[in-house]
Amino acid sequence: MGEGSNLMVGTDANFQKEVLEAEQPTIVDFWASWCGPCRMIAPVFEELSNQYTGKVKFVKVNVDENPKIPANYGVRGIPTVIMFKGGKVVDQLVGSGSLSA
């Protein structure tokens, strides 16, 4: 997630600006370091972020470090991936099976 990358780190503090106020559709991956399936989908998520640079924004939110945002969106299992457009949830996937290559 280096400089110029289309993959950002989301936090409770920057979620409003980076996701809800984003001009482009934004896909958020709610994950944790101890979650095996989260680590399995991470390379797929990163690859997709590279493929859709300029079209879709990709954000990763660590649920252990940022508990407020996942709670606001009813995230109970991880990985959970939520797509936002215009500040609203437009789609949601729970579990790693729906993101496998």
Annotated catalytic residues are: 35, 38
CA distances from 41 to 15, 30, 56, 79 (A): 21, 11, 18, 8
Consecutive H or E run containing 10: strand 7-10
Rg for the chain (alpha carbons), in Å?
A: 12
